[in-house]
């Protein structure tokens, strides 16, 4: 009798297109991808674009884990999406499901192992494949790090590859969304699994506003508020982001050969309508940082006499300059602070809560903070922007 009951339950669920685990199957299909380019800042840019893409072609977005790299470790780590961000606000914009939930409940029925196909624009060369060696065209979706570790985390292997070129992901300026729906129907392709994010970098201008749906978990917000309450002097504070590690120094060498670099459109404009790249925009001197910080604080104090700056919170990938800042700001009765232990995500949360923020125009990490503050109406500025000779001393904030 139990066997018959199970059979009828299975038939019933299939007829109403519902998964027997309690989760409804999306008849419009799903999108999954590997956030395999760069660290968190780049992945966040790609996430917003992927969210917009999933919305445009009306498929549920499978929320990928964040790919992290730890010192001394050969393989990447995959940290569940909801470790840092609340999933619920995303539903206000579009349908989403975490990857672990999808794989454990829906994948056996929606995406069985014998139907898992990887998507890429064109053939990718395998790291182990000799040049000019003949072979079957393949996405090689699991070749290299973090590609292999990412899919292995969920036991995913692919039986074939699908090349979607010449389709692309800009769904704002053409009928591209319709073309995707026409070529890849949900009936034939229930899951579109991309080797990389279905989005551009840096984030498209049209997708920046989606940051409002990417909200920190209560645990991170509580930790940020606790630090601000217990470790910073009572009063307003300025959050600053300093990029000065050796990898950043090398990245800044490309400024001389580029019109745009990384997240630079956030201050220069997507068509360089607000200026062109210059070295100080990427890498600032200690003297320049101190000079701009003092000037900004003085201007803030003039504009907001009842909301005096009492401290500086510093996030950095290398040198936090705590001693330099404390020495330079001592006469202003302002102290500099940082987290006792490195936590880039808690750094971001605190920077987002600061009364004023100064970030690096080129950095996608700073860009994350800037977007969050934009939708909340909080003021933000950039190091060395505009150039000192062009800066109007009476203005605190350039309209961006």
Would 274 be classed as within a structural domain?
Answer: yes
Would 399 be classed as within a structural domain?
Answer: no
Would 398 be classed as within a structural domain?
Answer: no
**Is 48 in the same domain as 175?**
yes
Would 396 be classed as within a structural domain?
Answer: no
Q: Which of 206, 241, 263 is the last residue of a domain?
A: 206
The answer on pLDDT for 293 being more than 50 is: yes
- Residue 74 banded pLDDT, cuts 50, 70, 90: confident
Q: What is the mean pLDDT of residues 141-163?
A: 97
Q: What is the mean pLDDT of residues 14-25?
A: 57
List the single range of 113-122, 239-248, 311-320, 380-389 with lowest mean pLDDT: 380-389
Rounded CA-CA distance 219/84 in Å is 8
**To the nearest whole number, what is the mean pLDDT of the chain?**
91
Bridge partners of residue 18, in order along the sequence: 24
Reference 215, options 92, 78, 314; nearest CA is 92
Residue 65 sits in a domain of what CATH number? 3.40.50.11340
Residue 326 sits in a domain of what CATH number? 3.40.50.11350
**Is 192 in the same domain as 70?**
yes
Bridge partners of residue 163, in order along the sequence: 120
Domain count, the chain: 2
Q: Are strands 85-86 and 215-216 parallel, antiparallel or unpaired?
A: antiparallel
Reference 382, options 303, 227, 307, 274; nearest CA is 274
**Is 25 in the same domain as 97?**
yes
**Is 221 in the same domain as 117?**
no
The answer on pLDDT for 329 being more than 90 is: yes
Greater model confidence, 54 or 19:
54
Would 397 be classed as within a structural domain?
Answer: no
pLDDT, tens digit, 9 for 90 and up, residues 161-170: 999 999 999 9
- Residue 134 banded pLDDT, cuts 50, 70, 90: low
pLDDT, tens digit, 9 for 90 and up, residues 216-234: 999 999 999 999 999 999 9
Domain carrying residue 226: 217-390
Name the residue with tokens 């699991």. 142
Would 231 be classed as within a structural domain?
Answer: yes
Q: Which of 178, 206, 234 is the last residue of a domain?
A: 206
Instruction: Please give the sequence-ordered ranges of beta strands (E in DSSP) within the chain, or none if there are none.
Output: 30-33, 60-63, 66-68, 77-79, 85-86, 96-98, 117-120, 160-163, 191-194, 215-216, 236-242, 309-316, 335-337, 356-359, 380-382
Would 39 be classed as within a structural domain?
Answer: yes
**Is 181 in the same domain as 245?**
no
**Is 42 in the same domain as 149?**
yes
The answer on pLDDT for 56 being more than 60 is: yes
CB of 139 closer than 8 Å to CB of 120: yes
Rounded CA-CA distance 240/357 in Å is 6
Would 25 be classed as within a structural domain?
Answer: yes
Q: Model-level pTM? A: 0.90
pLDDT at 391: 58
Q: Which of 156, 171, 206 is the last residue of a domain?
A: 206
The answer on pLDDT for 127 being more than 80 is: no
The answer on pLDDT for 116 being more than 90 is: yes
The answer on pLDDT for 341 being more than 90 is: yes
pLDDT at 22: 58
**Is 259 in the same domain as 315?**
yes
**Is 298 in the same domain as 195?**
no
- Residue 136 banded pLDDT, cuts 50, 70, 90: confident
Q: What is the mean pLDDT of residues 328-350?
A: 97
The answer on pLDDT for 28 being more than 70 is: yes
Q: What is the mean pLDDT of residues 268-296?
A: 97
Greater model confidence, 14 or 271:
271
**Is 166 in the same domain as 41?**
yes
The answer on pLDDT for 69 being more than 50 is: yes
The answer on pLDDT for 308 being more than 70 is: yes
**Is 129 in the same domain as 185?**
yes
DSSP secondary structure of 190-255: SEEEESS-SS-SSPPGGGGGGGGG-EE-HHHHHHHHHHHHHHSPSSEEEEEEE--SHHHHHHGGGG
- Residue 6 banded pLDDT, cuts 50, 70, 90: very low
**Is 227 in the same domain as 160?**
no
**Is 199 in the same domain as 225?**
no
């Amino acid at each position: 009798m139990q066997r018959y009951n199970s059979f009828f339950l299975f038939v019933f669920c299939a007829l109403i297109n519902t998964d027997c685990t309690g989760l409804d199957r999306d008849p419009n299909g799903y999108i999954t991808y590997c956030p395999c380019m760069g660290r968190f800042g780049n992945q966040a840019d790609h996430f917003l674009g992927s969210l917009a893409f999933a919305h445009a072609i009306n498929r549920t977005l499978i929320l990928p884990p964040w790919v992290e790299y730890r010192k001394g470790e050969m393989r990447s780590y995959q940290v569940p999406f909801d470790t840092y961000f609340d999933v619920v606000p995303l539903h206000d914009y579009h349908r989403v499901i975490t990857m672990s939930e999808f794989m454990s409940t829906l994948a056996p029925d929606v995406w069985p192992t014998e139907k898992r196909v990887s998507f890429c624009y064109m053939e990718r060369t395998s790291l182990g494949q000799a040049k000019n060696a003949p072979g079957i065209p393949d996405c090689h979706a699991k070749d290299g790090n973090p590609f292999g570790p990412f899919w292995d985390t969920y036991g995913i292997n692919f039986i074939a590859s699908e090349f979607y070129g010449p389709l692309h992901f800009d769904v704002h300026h053409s009928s591209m969304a319709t073309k995707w729906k026409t070529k890849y129907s949900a009936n034939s392709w229930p899951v579109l699994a991309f080797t990389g994010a279905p989005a551009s970098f840096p984030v498209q201008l049209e997708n920046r506003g989606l940051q409002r749906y990417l909200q920190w978990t209560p645990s991170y917000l509580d930790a940020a508020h606790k630090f601000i309450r217990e470790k910073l002097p009572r009063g307003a504070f300025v959050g600053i982001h300093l990029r000065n590690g050796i990898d950043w120094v090398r990245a800044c060498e490309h400024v001389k050969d580029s019109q745009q670099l990384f997240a630079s459109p956030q201050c220069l404009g997507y068509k360089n309508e607000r200026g062109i790249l210059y070295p100080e925009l990427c890498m600032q001197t200690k003297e320049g940082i101190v000079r701009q910080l003092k000037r900004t604080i003085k201007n803030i104090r003039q504009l907001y006499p009842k909301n005096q700056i009492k401290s500086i919170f510093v996030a950095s990938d290398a040198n936090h300059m705590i001693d330099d800042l404390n020495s330079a700001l001592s006469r202003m009765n302002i102290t500099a602070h940082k987290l006792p232990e490195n936590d880039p995500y808690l750094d971001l949360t605190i920077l987002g809560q600061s009364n004023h923020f100064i970030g690096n125009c080129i950095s996608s990490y700073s860009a994350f903070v800037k977007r969050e503050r934009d939708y909340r109406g909080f003021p933000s500025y950039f190091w060395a922007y505009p150039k000192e000779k062009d800066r109007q001393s009476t203005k605190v904030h350039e309209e961006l």
